[in-house]
């Protein structure tokens, strides 16, 4: 079955000179995550902010959405309970088909949004939370052109084995993670950073002290500053 993104929440601040696409998480929705992004929405001038709705109904909550099935690759949620980061990464490494399937319907949506504002990949920032963060990183690496930057909230580089060999681009990355996260373990921050840098991505990290699996105000402030600084750098170049 071919899926397309047909629902979204969009905010237009001024005359868009940059595009931010924020991907919600697993068991989530566009309207739900929109309520948590007020700081980001209110503090980016001349920006179009799009929050697309995943087209797949969530497998464990019929009123929520997912970008791809998690239980298809980890039916017992074992990735959350294994002892080491290396064991955890094995489960995410199995999810390549899910990420690729999501990329196939997300990528045309991104192109459509860029065309709407007559912007280029260098003006694009792909962000996401949890499963959406993982897809944001995957998409940023697999697009043909290098985007302005990617921001991951509580995510992980996945599937790392495939991406390290087959990525098309090396965008700048900001990885944000709470050190009290029990759903996507905090060790994923260093695991992802080291491999992204091996691939050639300039990678910045930010730890939310005491942060759990959520989009924190501290993290959003870091994201806003990151986008603003990169936009200034782009103009200077």
What CATH number has the domain bearing residue 219? 3.40.50.1820
Domain annotation covers residue 1: no
> What is the per-residue pLDDT for 2?
83
- Using 70 as the pLDDT threshold, list the residues of the chain that sit under it: 1, 233-237
Cβ partners under 8 Å of residue 39, min gap 6: 217, 220, 221, 224
Q: How far apart are the first and last CA of the chain?
A: 44
Residues of the domain holding 95 = 8-236
pTM of the shown model: 0.96
Domain annotation covers residue 132: yes
Domain annotation covers residue 142: yes
Number of domains in the chain: 1
Number of residues written out for the chain: 237
Domain annotation covers residue 81: yes
Neighbouring C-beta atoms of residue 108, cutoff 10 Å? 12
Domain annotation covers residue 133: yes
Domain annotation covers residue 164: yes
**E strand or H helix that includes residue 60:** none
């Amino acid at each position: 079955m071919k899926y397309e993104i047909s629902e979204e929440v969009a905010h237009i601040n001024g005359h868009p000179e940059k595009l931010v696409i924020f991907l919600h998480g697993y068991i989530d929705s566009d309207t739900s995550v929109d309520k948590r992004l007020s700081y980001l929405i209110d503090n980016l001038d001349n920006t179009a902010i799009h929050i697309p709705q995943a087209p797949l109904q969530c497998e464990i909550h019929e009123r929520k959405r997912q970008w791809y099935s998690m239980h298809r690759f980890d039916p017992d949620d074992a990735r959350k309970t294994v002892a080491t980061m290396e064991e955890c990464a094995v489960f995410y490494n199995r999810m390549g088909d899910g990420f690729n399937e999501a990329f196939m319907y997300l990528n045309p949506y991104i192109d459509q949004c860029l065309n709407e504002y007559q912007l280029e990949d260098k003006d694009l920032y792909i962000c996401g939370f949890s499963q959406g963060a993982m897809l944001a990183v995957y998409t940023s690496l697999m697009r043909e052109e290098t985007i302005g930057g990617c921001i991951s909230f509580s995510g992980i580089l996945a599937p790392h084995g495939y991406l390290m060999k087959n990525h098309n681009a090396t965008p700048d990355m900001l990885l944000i993670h709470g050190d009290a996260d029990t759903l996507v373990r905090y060790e994923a921050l260093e695991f992802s950073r080291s491999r992204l840098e091996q691939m050639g991505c300039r990678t910045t990290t930010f730890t939310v002290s005491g942060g759990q699996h959520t989009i924190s105000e501290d993290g959003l402030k870091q994201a806003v500053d990151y986008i603003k600084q990169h936009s200034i750098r782009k103009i200077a170049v």
